[in-house]
Amino acid sequence: MKDEMKGERILYPCYFNASLMRDQGRRVPRSRAVKEPSLADIERAVKRCGVRYRTEQKSHPAFWWKREGRIVVAWEHGKEQLLKKVAGFLEVKR
């Protein structure tokens, strides 16, 4: 069963973590990733994108012990587009 509702995309900090390999959960190119991003870092980047979102205290299934949290974004387009947009704002910050 999918957690994502129609028009929502879930973002986890591991998607943007430059320390991880692709098969460990990173979803953006290493050149656009940052080292150890926090949920707050991603929340600031999503806020700068100007989209509605909410944070949840749930863990990525592969990293269930980390308790990093996640952000659920109201987004009608493809997830890859959203990942690139958020990664761009993460780069600006750091």
Give the domain CATH number at 74. Answer: 3.30.56.30
* Residue at 89 is within a domain: yes
pLDDT at 75 over 90: yes
Sheet holding 8-11, edge to edge: 8-11, 70-74, 53-56
* Residue at 2 is within a domain: no
Give the pair of three-digit tokens for residue 39.
């949920």
Query: Cα(50)–Cα(3) distance, rounded to whole angstroms?
Result: 23
Residues 71 and 46 sit within 8 Å (Cβ to Cβ)? yes
* Residue at 54 is within a domain: yes
Quick one: pLDDT at residue 66? 87
pLDDT at 1 over 90: no
Q: What is the span of the domain harbouring residue 80?
A: 8-93
pLDDT digits (tens, 9 = 90+) for 12-45: 999 999 999 999 999 999 999 999 999 999 999 9
* Residue at 51 is within a domain: yes
Cα 23 to Cα 19, 58, 72: the distances in Å are 12, 21, 22
Q: Could you tell me which residue, 91 or 30, shows the higher pLDDT?
A: 30
* Residue at 1 is within a domain: no
pLDDT band of residue 5 (cuts 50, 70, 90) is: low
